[in-house]
Amino acid sequence: MIDAILESPYINSLPVLFEGLKLTVLITFSGLFLGFILGAIVGIGRLSKKKLVRSISIVYIEVVRGTPILVQVLFIYYGLTEDLIGLSINSLTAAIIAITINAAAYIAEIVRGAVYSIEKGQGEAGRSLGLTENDTMRYIIWPQAFKRMIPPLGNQFVISLKDTSLFSVIAVGELLYMGKQYYNVTYEIFETLLMVSILYLLITIPTSVYLRRLERKLDV
């Protein structure tokens, strides 16, 4: 019985799928880390009193959110040729850039909404204490706003994780791509795609459960 389970097509596909899962997680975490930095800058820019900064931030958010991530990664990988930009972008780099740019647009709105939700009296209190506008943001508003960002940032992680499956079109060896490579050889399509789905769920479901608990704990 045990030997039959171990030799089943479901189990046999796991070594290959785990290799893809590693790359999926790498792309997701790298893209979201860089995306948070860029998104925070754009989000703060969205709130800027300077019209030019605010306008650039709005245009960035609307353009990125208004175009599919699949188009974005194809544009980065195939559109930004070496002749055009002076360097070659491999598929993995293109995938990380795409996640970064795409996630940043959504994170910018998360940042903007969280900062905007802090009572105006908090900023006024900071300035009454002699803090500059930047110091007020850094020491008073941002810590409170960041607490409110955590649940939606977790949701963005789940979305970006699933978005990596689109990068198989540029031959990034993520989870779905490795699954396709495996069933193209074994013809075990149902079994392989079922295991691909299970591996995604093993990440997304615990993450979603944890986020719901965290949201109740933070009371946000």
Contact 14, 195 (CB under 8 A): yes
Cβ-in-10-Å burial (0-12, 13-18, 19+) of 215 comes to: middle
Contact 110, 156 (CB under 8 A): yes
CATH number at residue 205: 1.10.3720.10
CB count within 10 Å of CB 80 equals 15
Tally of domains within the chain: 1
State the residue range of the domain holding 103: 15-218
Q: Enter the tokens of residue 75.
A: 């544009």
Residues of the chain falling short of pLDDT 50? 1, 3-6
**What is the rounded distance in angstroms from the CA atom of residue 24 to the CA atom of residue 42?**
26
Q: Let me know if residue 163 belongs to a domain.
A: yes
Q: Let me know if residue 153 belongs to a domain.
A: yes
Q: Let me know if residue 1 belongs to a domain.
A: no
Output the pLDDT for position 7. Answer: 61
Q: Let me know if residue 87 belongs to a domain.
A: yes
Total H helices, total E strands in the chain: 12, 0
Output the pLDDT for position 182. Answer: 94
Output the pLDDT for position 101. Answer: 97
Q: Let me know if residue 4 belongs to a domain.
A: no
Contact 35, 64 (CB under 8 A): no
**What is the rounded distance in angstroms from the CA atom of residue 200 to the CA atom of residue 205?**
8
Contact 88, 118 (CB under 8 A): no
Query: How far is Cα of residue 4 from the mean position of the Cα atoms in its chain?
Result: 39
Q: Let me know if residue 20 belongs to a domain.
A: yes
Q: CA angle at residue 217 from 211 to 220, to 5 degrees?
A: 80
